[in-house]
């Protein structure tokens, strides 16, 4: 089961996703399941930090958003309108 903190963090992350703040959304989605320290690589000089697939949260909606944003390195397309067309079920 998920605690209320999870739902608060996910809602905040989703709002950032909609607003086009994908790096913030990414960081918030990682905190839905992990502590921020376990998701950041202080030795990385490139941003966004690299996180292996094995370290990703196990929640389906969280993983779906992370995978989608990862395709553009966590930067929304220039024509981002706050949503995307779902092509898979």
Could you please report the per-residue DSSP string of 20-88? T-HHHHHHHHHHTTS-HHHH--TT--SSSPP--GGGS---HHHHHHHHHHHTTTT---TT--S------
Query: For the segment 65-76, what is each residue's pLDDT rounded down to a tens digit?
Result: 998 999 999 999
Query: For the segment 6-47, what is each residue's pLDDT rounded down to a tens digit?
Result: 889 999 999 999 999 999 999 999 887 643 443 444 444 444
Whether the Cβ atoms of residue 54 and residue 11 lie closer than 8 Å to each other: no
User: CA 32, CA 8: separation in Å to the nearest integer?
Assistant: 9
């Amino acid at each position: 089961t998920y605690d209320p903190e999870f739902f608060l963090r996910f809602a905040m992350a989703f709002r950032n996703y909609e607003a086009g703040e994908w790096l913030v959304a990414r960081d918030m989605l990682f905190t839905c399941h992990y502590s921020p320290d376990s998701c950041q690589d202080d030795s990385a000089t490139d941003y966004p930090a690299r996180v292996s697939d094995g370290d990703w949260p196990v929640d389906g909606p969280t993983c779906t958003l992370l995978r989608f944003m990862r395709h553009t390195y966590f930067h929304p397309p220039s024509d981002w309108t706050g949503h995307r067309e779902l092509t898979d079920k």
